[in-house]
Amino acid sequence: MSMETPIPRVKKGKELILDITTAAFEGKGLGRVGDYAVFVKHTAPGDQVRVRIIRKRKNYAEGILLEVLNPSADRIAPKCRHAGTCGGCTWQHVPYDKELEYKTGHVRDHFQRIGGFHDIHTEPVIGAPEPFYYRNKMEYTFGDRRWLTDKEVESGREIADRDFALGLHVPGRYDRILNLDECHLQDPVSFQILDAIREYALSNHIPPYNTHRHEGFLRNLIIRNAEHTGDLMVNLVTSGEDDQTMTPLTEWLLDQFPRITTMIHTINDTRSPSSEGRYQKVLHGPGYIREYLGPYHFRIDPNTFFQTNTRQARKLYDVVLGALDNVPVLYDLYCGVGTLSIYLSAMASRVVGIEIHAGAVEKARENAAGNGVIHAVFEQGDMKDIFNDELIRRHGRPDIIVTDPPRAGMHEAVIGQLLSILPEKIIYVSCNSATQARDVALLSDQYRLERIQPVDMFPRTYHVESVAVLSKKEIEFDLNT
């Protein structure tokens, strides 16, 4: 009779002293009680910590950090005072080179553990030249339920502006907003604008929105900037129209920040938390900004998806470009507004982009026309439905397919169609290497995994992009049959 190893007595609510040995996925540190895994956010390999167990499962537990008893040699002081609270950054407490090591290891682990690829080499992640101030878009939220930090609670002082906050959602709390005192992810002008609008709203008694009562005016502040053109968009989302409030606010803001090239007023008068709203008004400028990726220019409207790290987006696209030869027909699955389709267009005689969102397809066609890419066509529809034999008959069998699906990965019907078509090469771009490894494994009977190249699009967070290059296997003939 076999004896199973008993699970250590790790109970919810219990405090433990834990040695963190490994950097786990999602920005967590991993320690063990016997063979039992305990994951703790805001820790680093080499830390000895005191934690409290908050969740217990059969094979692992999760704890919250109470105290760093002996810090790791790799631990550094975060640049931002909100690190560890707002949820925007998860790796500010380690040097950037260590963060890159962790991310390379996470991608490698996913392909080994989930994909079953034990003999494949994972290239070191391509890092960013600047791990801060890289985002070209930040979305902030107003609220009347300000999240008080532990330090504020312990001080016992009265918080004068506790009913007004402008910042980021506290992780796991859609109704609580951390009032930001600083943020280092976007161009510094972004936080300056945030701070100015907050002070203006407080001074002029403009109420923030309350999600429970569906009351208040100010809902979101979205700031987008273009690195290569200098364009700067401010998009203020409110619960209704009010020219008596918006006109003087707009005039004041443009006077304070002459860098602003366009200002948008988005009206969301529904209970939906979406910042896209029901309709928009252009208060200043053309209503959009323009940006370049390589020689190609793109129009970015308020709700246009665009890679949030412009410099690293070009590095990511160059990895894909480097895996291409001149091909007759190239398909780009989940193409969005066509940025990658257009960037790769010089390598193909025909480019076919497929995307579910009608608005994105319209923008993709506009971007292609604006760049003189006349040999690119774009189709709209759900990938699992539209990526079929009829579409291939119309546009030709693809020689190479580039796919960049959502975090959930590709639908089984899409994978089945890939195995039916059998293009010479598949280049799989993903922001989630776990689902990427799963999908690549499903293709492995017909395809050889040639290369895995991570690219750090999101420094100081746990997110990392990954490019997997797959080549069709040669058919082997048995000469004895």
What is the number of H-type helices and E-type strands within the chain?
A: 11, 21
Q: Residue 452 to residues 11, 105, 437: CA-CA distances in angstroms?
A: 39, 12, 10
* Domain assignment of residue 418, yes or no: yes
326-338 pLDDT, tens digit per residue, is 999 999 999 999 9
**Domain total for the chain?**
3
Residues 124 and 141 in one domain: no
* Same domain assignment for residues 123 and 5: no
Q: Closest Cα partner for 163 from 181, 182, 176? A: 176
Would you say residue 479 lies in a domain? Answer: no
361 in any annotated domain: yes
Is 362 in the same domain as 459? yes
Q: Is residue 477 in some structural domain?
A: no
**Is there a single domain that holds both residue 455 and residue 326?**
yes
319, 263: one domain? no
> pTM, whole model, 2 decimals?
0.91
Domain co-membership, 429 together with 362: yes
Residue 54 lies in a domain: yes
322 and 288 co-located in one domain: no
Report the percentage of the chain scoring pLDDT > 90. Answer: 83
Q: Which of 276, 85, 42 is nearest to 180 (CA)?
A: 85
Query: Which of 238, 263, 293 is the last residue in one of the domains?
Result: 293
Q: Is residue 301 assigned to a domain?
A: no
Q: Could you give the CA distance from residue 80 to residue 324 in angstroms, rounded to a whole number?
A: 41
| Same domain assignment for residues 446 and 428 | yes
The Cα–Cα gap between 232 and 169 comes to 24
- Which CATH number do you get for residue 24? 2.40.50.140
Question: Distance between CA atoms of 165 and 180, rounded to whole angstroms?
Answer: 8
Q: What is the CATH number of the domain that holds 268?
A: 2.40.50.1070
Residue 345 Cα distances to 3, 327, 361, angstroms: 61, 10, 16
Q: Which sequence positions are flagged as catalytic? A: 431
State the residue range of the domain holding 186: 137-293
Cα dihedral 28→31→36→37 (10° resolution): 10
Q: Which helix (H) or strand (E) holds 249?
A: helix 243-256
319 and 468 fall within a common domain: yes
Same domain flag for 281 and 383: no
Per the DSSP assignment, residues forming a β-bridge with 222 are: 139, 235
| Contact (Cβ atoms closer than 8 angstroms) between residue 47 and residue 71 | yes
* Token couple for 470: 């797959």
Same domain, 173 and 261: yes
In 3D space, the residue among 240, 225, 161, 150 whose CA is nearest the CA of residue 195 turns out to be 161
The CATH number covering residue 468 comes to 3.40.50.150
Among residues 293, 324, 359, which one ends one of the domains? 293
Q: Are residues 371 and 406 in the same domain?
A: yes
Instruction: Write out the chain's pLDDT in tens, 481 residues.
Output: 445 555 557 889 899 999 999 999 888 999 999 989 999 999 999 999 999 999 999 889 999 999 999 999 999 999 999 887 887 888 999 999 999 999 999 999 999 999 999 988 999 999 999 999 999 999 999 998 777 766 666 666 666 667 899 999 887 666 688 899 999 999 999 999 999 999 999 999 999 999 889 999 999 999 999 999 999 999 999 999 999 999 999 999 999 999 999 999 999 999 998 899 999 999 999 999 999 999 999 999 999 999 999 999 999 999 999 999 899 999 999 999 999 999 999 999 999 999 999 999 999 999 999 999 999 999 999 999 999 999 999 999 999 999 999 999 999 999 999 999 999 999 999 999 999 999 999 999 999 999 999 999 999 999 999 999 999 998 654 545 4
Tell whether 152 is covered by a domain: yes
431 CB neighbour count, 10 Å cutoff: 16
480 occurs within a structural domain: no
